[in-house]
Amino acid sequence: MKIALAQLNYIIADFKGNSEKIILKIEEAKSQGADLIVFSELAISGYPPDDLLDYPHFIESCSNALSDVAKSAVGISAIVGCPLENPEQVGRRLYNAACLLEDGIVKDVVYKTLLPTYDVFNESRYFEVNDQFRTISIQGVKTAITICEDLWHEMDRFDYQDNPIAELCKESPSLSINISASPFNRDKIDERLKVLQRQSKYSKTPLIYVNQVGAHTDLIFDGNSRVLDSDGDTILKLSEFKEELAYIDLEDSQSFIKKEEQEEDDLNILHRALVFGLKDYFNKMGFKKAILGSSGGIDSAVVQALAVEALGKENVLAVMLPSQFSSEGSVIDAVELSKNLGNPYEIIPIETAYKSFESGLSNLFDGLSFNVAEENIQARSRAVYLMAISNKLGYILLNTSNKSEMSVGYSTLYGDMCGSISVIGDVLKTDVYNLARQINKEQELIPVSIIEKAPSAELRPNQKDSDSLPEYDILDGILKLYIEHQKGPSSIIASGYEKATVERVIKLVNGAEYKRFQSPPILRVSPKAFGRGRIMPLVSRW
């Protein structure tokens, strides 16, 4: 059997665009003599459609689009993911389905069993659980079809009661297929490969795995579709962060070229994920140009470099907004950065605006010493300028806050937390520095002086981040354990961190939840990102 793997980038609710893309690949695979083409989970609707699944006319549109796609499946079989109602089901009838298309119709349907409800997933909110396990025949081959999480029944976090693979293997299939919408994080690629290897060995069959590629606001999908033989060895691998149509003939042993699994540099994959996520967000939203505040600091420098790579230098406007507390070196560094990257820039001092606010508040502030209020006026003045330019010129504001600062509330609401998308809000400060060095690997784009200078918000004389926070290597170690690994204070202290520092950091994290609740969407690149993957109460005694 010659099988085509269609790793595609879909847009949620773009039924016309998704259907046309699927049909085009079906025709292409047919012209190449493929017997079967496999698409990813919920390809018709795009994944994740979230509460659109609650709208009856959305489900009807999915069904109509599936019927249109099925008409092209003549002379070839196709497996396509789609939300689908089971008319024979009593009560809740909506399923996450894998549909077998043959002879111009939906020939058979398999439903998803394991519905993830952890981290960024909430599928049991919408779908019913499958309780019927059976293989289906495709071109005379007994095939076990599963959908994404169905392969993940044994997880470190918990064990599911059902084991779809074990149930399907009772019928001795000759082939296994998994259609997936598995989002990227920095730990996921290796973890996912281990799951696929375990399942192909368990079923003793070749495993066809097709994952979607693309970004849906905060979620980035890396693709990495592949075929594994019954020994768990990869014999075909598709690209990361790229649409691709690939073929394998399971009856032709000459086509079985085992792929050596080489670990990609972590910073390189992080770099590529952020560029891809930002680019796809702009493409799907119909945005063309970006604006950001360029401070001469490390965070805005990294975001600016990523944006230029993703969107093109002519489409990124860097605006330097120095106050009376900004050092001359910071402005010089910011200008040099824009010259290195080749993007346009503007310099707009904010001292006049700041003094106007100061004058207007003088009666209320009379006799009170300079504190965070005056610091925040500067941050919010910058946001006013940036948003004014955004509104007038149609540029989309990029948020430049990093995960460390957002974690502990070292950021200003309606100031530096403004933006349409947070580019590095899931990247800890120490990794921001590492990214800067990685960006400079071939040539110095980010001035070394930006990388080497002590981090500072420059909102008061001689200010440094370390005046208010632990050193970033210590802070980030605690944050990684507390947020990404969900360790408690005693466990973190036992790992070697000072008790007072741990307690202070955790108090800062918990106390800043109300700020993060109002932050822009964050490109997710870690196992636990702020946003939909970490939902915490704003009011609690935790």
What dihedral do alpha carbons 53, 528, 415, 280 form, nearest 10°? -60
Catalytic residue of the set 2, 30, 112, 289: 112
99 is a catalytic site residue? no
Sheet strands (E) in 263-315: 290-293
Q: Which residue has the tokens 């690939």?
A: 246
* Whole-angstrom distance, CA of residue 275 vs CA of residue 305: 9
* Whole-angstrom distance, CA of residue 376 vs CA of residue 326: 14
Catalytic residue of the set 82, 148, 169, 418: 148
Q: Is the dihedral of CA 191, 194, 198, 201 positive or negative?
A: positive
Edge-to-edge strand order for the sheet containing 316-320? Answer: 345-347, 316-320, 290-293, 396-399, 421-422
Compute the half-sphere exposure of residue 126: CA atoms within 13 Å on the CB side of its CA: 23
Q: Give the closest residue to 298 by CA, choosing from 531, 421, 472.
A: 472
Catalytic residue of the set 2, 21, 25, 41: 41
41 is a catalytic site residue? yes
* Whole-angstrom distance, CA of residue 530 vs CA of residue 57: 32
Per the CB < 8 A criterion, the answer to whether 208 and 38 are in contact is yes
- Show Cβ contacts of residue 212 under 8 Å, excluding neighbours closer than 6 positions: 7, 8, 9, 10, 40, 41, 43, 47, 180, 181, 221, 223
Q: What is the distance between the terminal CA atoms of the chain, rounded to a whole angstrom?
A: 57
The type of residue at 199 is Q
Q: Give the closest residue to 206 by CA, choosing from 230, 225, 182.
A: 230
How far CA 504 is from CA of 57, 292, 430, in Å, comes to 50, 32, 19
ω into 322 cis (within 30 of 0): no
* Whole-angstrom distance, CA of residue 77 vs CA of residue 147: 18
By annotation, the residues acting in catalysis are 41, 112, 148
